[in-house]
Structure 1
Amino acid sequence: MAITEINFDGIIGPSHNYAGLSPGNIASANNAGAISAPRAAALQGLEKMRTNLRAGLAQGFFMPLDRPNAAWLAGLSADMASAEPHIRAAAFSASAMWAANAATVSPAPDTADGRCHLSAANLLTMAHRSHEWTGTHAQLQLAFANEAHFAVHPPVPAPYGDEGAANHMRLCAAHGEAGIEVFVYGKSGGPFPARQHIEASKAVARAHLLDPAKTLFIQQAEAAIAGGAFHNDVVAVANEDVLFCHELAFEYPSEAYADIRRLMPSVQIVEVPASRVTLADAVQSYLFNAQLVTMPNGQGMALILPTESQENEAVWSWLSEMVAGNGPIRHLVPVDVRQSMANGGGPACLRLRVVCDPAYVDPRFIADEAKLDAMAAVIGEYWPEHIAPDQLSDPALIQQVQSARAALLKCCGLDGAL
Structure 2
Amino acid sequence: MSYEMIALLMFAAMMLLLFSGQRVFGAIGFVAVIAALVLWGERGGFDIAFSQSIKLMRWYPLLTVPMFVFMGYILSESRIADDLYRMFHVWMGGLRGGLAIGTIGLMVLISAMNGLSVAGMAIGATIALPELLRRGYDKRMVTGVVQAGSSLGILVPPSVVLVLYAMIARQPVGQLWLAGVIPGLMMAAMFIVYIAVRCRINPELGPVLSKEERNLPLREKYALLLAGLLPLGVFFAMMIPFVNGWTSLVESSAIGAITAFIAAVLKRRMTWDVFETSVRKTLGITCMFMWIILAALAFGAVFDGLGAVKAIESLFTERLGLSPWMILILMQLSFILMGTFLDDTAMLVIVAPLYIPLVGALEFDLIWYGVLYTITTQIAYMTPPFGYNLFLMRAMSPPEISLGDIYRSIIPFVAVMVLALVTVMVFPQIALWLPQTVYGN
Q: Which has the higher strand share?
A: 1
Which structure's CA Rg is the greater one? Answer: 2
**TM-score normalized with structure 1 length:** 0.25
Q: Which has the higher helix share?
A: 2
**TM-score normalized with structure 2 length:** 0.24
